[in-house]
Amino acid sequence: MKNLLYFLFFGLLACQSQAQKVETQPEPPQTAQAFSSKKQGISQEKTMNYDSLYRKLPDSAMVELIRWDDSFELDIRYATTNNFTGKVLYDCSRCFLRKKTAEDLILAQKEFKKLGYRIKIFDGYRPHSVQWKLWNAVTDKRYVSNPKKGSMHNRGCAVDLTLTDEKGKELDMGTTYDFFGKEAHWNYANLKPEVLKNRQLLKNVLAKYGFGTVPNEWWHYSYRKVIYPVRNEPIPCE
Ligand SMILES: [Zn+2]
């Protein structure tokens, strides 16, 4: 029964995607790894060494960031009502990324930790169907990628993040996450020196590991070394 419901759910998503003329691209079977640990043949045991297991997967596999490195803090806003839509859009509060993207983000995290900071994640992989919901909810289309093209989040190649200090307090970046206004733009310089310094720190370290900015959102970083197809699987809860 559970399997049937699962199948129907995915079938429904497929129909919905077709109706929206979504172009999610197929991936070669060897690289289209399932998201959940269960499907990857990975035990849910907390003692499991995810580092060695994840390293064996292809670069395009979807991996769960905090299973690989648990020093990241998560505040996945679209899994809560604390986002600009006011609606819960993800089934679970988890951050998945392509293996290659996660691997380089972990290297950046190591560098931030040496400086006394840690990365806090607001969003990672985002199902394509959710991209449509964000697109339909936002009035200023500069702030959400057109789902017809697909966002880097839909490809598992983008992260929304900030930095926290040793006490877990967020550094002052001048605006909140998903602040849709000029104060969040990279070309807006009328900010406190501390804010400009914090944003620059984020940018400088992440750039070393292949992550680039977009003009209107200080919190968004896209992985530039490689691009993968858009995906639409829901964020798994098991
Ligand atoms: Zn983003």
The C-alpha angle 132, 137, 140, rounded to 5 degrees, equals 105
Domain that holds residue 98: 2-223
Average pLDDT over residues 67-95: 96
Specify whether the CB–CB gap between 152 and 169 falls below 8 A.
Answer: no
Tell me how far apart the alpha carbons of residues 97 and 83 are, in angstroms, rounded to a whole number: 21
What pLDDT, in 10s, does the model give residues 134-144? 999 998 888 99
Q: Ligand 1 centroid vs 45 CA: distance in angstroms?
A: 31
Question: Tokens 């002052």 correspond to what residue?
Answer: 172
Domain membership of residue 138 (yes or no) is yes
Domain membership of residue 236 (yes or no) is no
Q: Write out the H or E segment, with its range, that includes residue 119.
A: strand 118-123
Q: Ligand 1 centroid vs 190 CA: distance in angstroms?
A: 23
Q: Ligand 1 centroid vs 153 CA: distance in angstroms?
A: 6
DSSP 148: T
Q: Ligand 1 centroid vs 154 CA: distance in angstroms?
A: 10
Domain membership of residue 189 (yes or no) is yes
Q: Write out the H or E segment, with its range, that includes residue 218.
A: strand 217-223
Is the pLDDT at 226 greater than 50, yes or no?
yes
Q: Ligand 1 centroid vs 97 CA: distance in angstroms?
A: 13
Which of the two residues, 26 and 189, has the higher pLDDT score? 189
Q: Ligand 1 centroid vs 75 CA: distance in angstroms?
A: 14
Q: How far is CA 95 from CA 68, 90, 201, in A?
A: 11, 11, 23
Domain membership of residue 11 (yes or no) is yes
Q: Ligand 1 centroid vs 52 CA: distance in angstroms?
A: 29
Split into its structural domains, the chain has a count of 1
Tell me how far apart the alpha carbons of residues 205 and 98 are, in angstroms, rounded to a whole number: 20
Among the listed residues 113, 111, 109, the one whose alpha carbon sits nearest the alpha carbon of residue 65: 109
Predicted local distance difference test score (pLDDT) of residue 114: 98
How crowded is residue 93: how many other Cβ atoms within 10 Å of its Cβ?
Answer: 15
Q: Ligand 1 centroid vs 47 CA: distance in angstroms?
A: 32
Domain membership of residue 231 (yes or no) is no
Q: Ligand 1 centroid vs 220 CA: distance in angstroms?
A: 4
Q: Ligand 1 centroid vs 5 CA: distance in angstroms?
A: 31
Q: Ligand 1 centroid vs 56 CA: distance in angstroms?
A: 28
Domain membership of residue 237 (yes or no) is no
**Interacting residues of 25 by C-beta distance below 8 A, sequence separation 6+:** 229, 230
Q: Ligand 1 centroid vs 155 CA: distance in angstroms?
A: 11
Specify whether the CB–CB gap between 88 and 142 falls below 8 A.
Answer: no
Here the CATH number for the domain that contains residue 112 is 3.30.1380.10
**CB burial class (10 A; 0-12, 13-18, 19+) of residue 90?**
buried
Domain membership of residue 233 (yes or no) is no
Predicted local distance difference test score (pLDDT) of residue 238: 81
Q: What is the pTM of this model?
A: 0.84
What pLDDT, in 10s, does the model give residues 106-156? 999 999 999 999 999 999 999 999 999 999 999 888 899 999 999 999 999
Q: By percentage, how much of the chain surpasses pLDDT 90? A: 75
Domain membership of residue 167 (yes or no) is yes
